Structure 1
Amino acid sequence: MLSMHPSASELVVHDDAIRENTARFSAMTEGRIMAVLKADAFGHGEIARSVLESGATSVGVTSVDEALALRATGVGAPILSWLNTPDADFETAVRENVDLAVPSVELLWSIGRAALRVGRPARVHLHLDVGMARDGCSTRDWSTLCTLAREHEALGAVRVVGVMGHLSCADEPEHPQNARERLVFESAVRTARRRALAPRILHLAATAATLNGVGSGFDVHRIGAGLFGIDPSSRTDVLRPAVTLTSSVVSSREVAAGTGVGYGLDFVAQNRTNLALLPVGYGDGLPREASGRAEVFARGRRRPLVGRFSMDMVVVDTGDDVLRPNERVTVFGPGAQGEPTVTEWAEWSRTIEHEIVTRLGNRSPRIHRTIETSSPSQGDRS
């Protein structure tokens, strides 16, 4: 029997913010959005319906497993999977109409064999490394990959529907590497067409390149972080943060000056003060690197977290205030009420916002709601 007791911590996903961000990108790109929902939608859970109803026309994920999980929830829109090993379940991917990125000859052979067993061609996007030396085919091997892809098309094993790349310095629009990588991409597309391929979906821009324009001029924009209010370029304020993490006080205590807190006693109270214990820690995704710098929001003001973060606990210095057990504390949120934001947590943790939201895990129940309402939408607890 399910417990009806409220959880000590909750992760609220603001679906209306996600919808608003998606609609903004749709307007910006004339409706050419691939919503990137990898890593459990950047830690935000089941939001495919929200983005597809708000302007996204397709979905991008990393693995075939992620793509098939979306299909299982009823997502019928085009889905692209772009990071797989040669032994991935390509047969099921082809049966489920999942597009597949091809960064190498080895992947092309694996996908082609799987498609021939299924009895229909796989839809593929040839993936070029334009300069990051990460995923994608090297420029040295690109011509060979295109030639073999055309041979696979002739066999009925694949159909090349797209060419994709990823800019390495899109968060710095003035960086000269952006222009160089665009030229590499455009040259690769010409090579593919000279090999009698006819890719109609060209995509180079992710969130940062879309916001600052360095990836414009192609068919699709892959928007991931931006859907959730994260601006990798740090140059705009047009996006709405889409997540709030709260926790409840377990206990409070008064301590004397000279009292140390947590492992190593890194923090020592300089004066008499009150401490409140929250049941959330690095096991819930709060980076331990933020120890000694992070703040939370309680009773209308910021409060410092003191001592090293534990796996399941952090301690709040509440000064003269004594927080009651079960009293709610905001760890981070949109910032409208003065609470810390994901951006601030990233700064305190010396990382990026993407890492903060994707490491939250599932210890805190996710509740999907609009930012204005106080009650979860029906059936949206996850």
Structure 2
Amino acid sequence: MAHFAHARVDLDAIADNARLLRERAGGTPLMGVVKADGYGHGMLPAARALLAGGAAWLGTAFIHEALALRVAGITAPLLAWIIPPGEPLREAIASDVDLGVSDRAVLDGVVDAARSLGRTARVQLKIDTGLNRGGIGPGVWPSLVEAAARAEEAGHLRVSGVWSHFACADEPGHPSIVSQLSQFREALERADQCGLTPEVRHIANSAALLTLPEARFDLVRAGIAAYGLNPVPDVEVPGLRPAMTLRSRIALTKRVGPGSGVSYGHRYVTDRDTTLALVPLGYADGVPRHATNQGPVLLGGRPRVIAGTVCMDQFVVDIGDDPVEAGEYAVLFGDPTGDPDTPTAQDWARVLETIPYEIVTRVGVRVPREYTGGS
């Protein structure tokens, strides 16, 4: 069945971005992050594209995401890092999923699950170096590392990694960056003193991958950059290509006179005889309601702006006297390589005072993903 709207995902772009980012990181092995349904691009197709592009690891937020990759036949090293109480630790251990450990309760739960299975669990200890979100605080780190070393000696687990996450790597020069790197190195020294020999030590996210060579260690994590969106817009990354294009066919056009209020609240009023085009996408599909009167759209070969309130299922564009007809495509965002007037997810983020991560991940399930490339 043909769909009036879709998010077209270029899998070759994702693979090429992975190659480019690994080259940018000096050949450091790369983890492709596929949480949140591959940042809205589709977790499994994105995972395969990243592996085709040379990613050595995959990363997910939750265990259920990691298990879905295993069920689909993905055998690459895989880390899941948010583990609330009650998560299926046994299934994860049996599926060779590395488990991110951010507190003692998780460590103890992993050890118990491993003991009951008679298997050695793989864990990656996360040190909180200053983000103050997940992770083991510096005051607790020594005792937890010692406990992990004892469990490793007993054969219940293997500490396969030590890692952390930056708070402000997308703000080059921010004083927290130096502080976090220093704390990370201290945490690694403590782990070494306890006899731990992790396979991978990693702290670099996309922003740090692009701007901080000293943060590469054994692995770099490519999240948003793998999908072609630059988390540090002031840093040029030639060749990075947005992988997602969100577009919809026009449902109808109508001619109206001057003084016509458009959409809920009449937040847009026409100032002349003009044509309105109805785009059947709305906030139920991930188009932010905040895009009212400011969301950029390419329509009829020209850049335009949403006219009036974004509704649940639709919004309107004022196209003036241009000869646009129902059935033609409106492009909300995509890759401007072919047409420099094409808005990008970064353009949407700038207008809405947010980040491109939010723009692509909120594209809803009503919008089918169509894939190109990846052969």
Which bracket does the TM-score occupy, shorter chain normalised?
over 0.9
Q: CA 1:214/1:179 → structure 2, altered by over 3 Å: closer, same or farther? A: farther
- 1:20 aligned onto 2:23: no
2:355 is matched with which residue: 330, 352, 362? 352
Which amino acid letter does the alignment assign opposite residue 220 of structure 1? L
Query: Which ranges of 4 or more aligned residues in structure 1 deviate by more than 4 Å?
Result: none
Measured in 1, the distance between the counterparts of 2:306 and 2:168 equals: 35
Measured in 2, the distance between the counterparts of 1:138 and 1:250 equals: 54
Range 49-58 or range 229-238, more displaced = 229-238
Contact 2:209-2:216 at 8 Å conserved across structures = no
Matches within 5 A, 1:293-308: 293-308=294-309
CA RMSD of aligned residues (A): 1.3
Q: TM-score, normalised by structure 1?
A: 0.94
Measured in 2, the distance between the counterparts of 1:283 and 1:109 equals: 41
Offset of 1:295 from its aligned partner? 2.2
Offset of 1:153 from its aligned partner? 1.4
- Where does residue 34 of structure 2 map in the other structure? 37
CA deviation map 1:95-133 (0-9, x unaligned): 000000111100001111111111111101100100011
Measured in 2, the distance between the counterparts of 1:7 and 1:111 equals: 45
Measured in 2, the distance between the counterparts of 1:166 and 1:298 equals: 40
Measured in 2, the distance between the counterparts of 1:20 and 1:314 equals: 34
Offset of 1:53 from its aligned partner? 1.4
- 1:365 aligned onto 2:368: yes
- Where does residue 226 of structure 2 map in the other structure? 227
> Unpaired runs of 5+ in structure 2?
none
Measured in 2, the distance between the counterparts of 1:108 and 1:86 equals: 12
Contact 2:122-2:158 at 8 Å conserved across structures = yes
CA deviation map 1:208-266 (0-9, x unaligned): 00100255340000111010111111112321111101101111111111100111111
Measured in 1, the distance between the counterparts of 2:122 and 2:85 equals: 16
Contact 1:275-1:315 at 8 Å conserved across structures = yes
Which amino acid letter does the alignment assign opposite residue 118 of structure 1? L
Contact 1:279-1:313 at 8 Å conserved across structures = yes
Which amino acid letter does the alignment assign opposite residue 352 of structure 2? S
- Where does residue 64 of structure 1 map in the other structure? 63
Q: State the number of aligned residues.
A: 368
> Unpaired runs of 5+ in structure 1?
371-376
Contact 1:334-1:341 at 8 Å conserved across structures = yes
Which amino acid letter does the alignment assign opposite residue 19 of structure 1? A
Which amino acid letter does the alignment assign opposite residue 193 of structure 2? R
Contact 1:276-1:316 at 8 Å conserved across structures = yes
- 1:250 aligned onto 2:247: no
Contact 1:288-1:349 at 8 Å conserved across structures = no
- Where does residue 276 of structure 2 map in the other structure? 275
Identity %: 38
- Where does residue 152 of structure 2 map in the other structure? 153
Offset of 1:28 from its aligned partner? 2.4
Contact 1:296-1:305 at 8 Å conserved across structures = yes
Contact 2:28-2:218 at 8 Å conserved across structures = no
- Where does residue 48 of structure 1 map in the other structure? 47
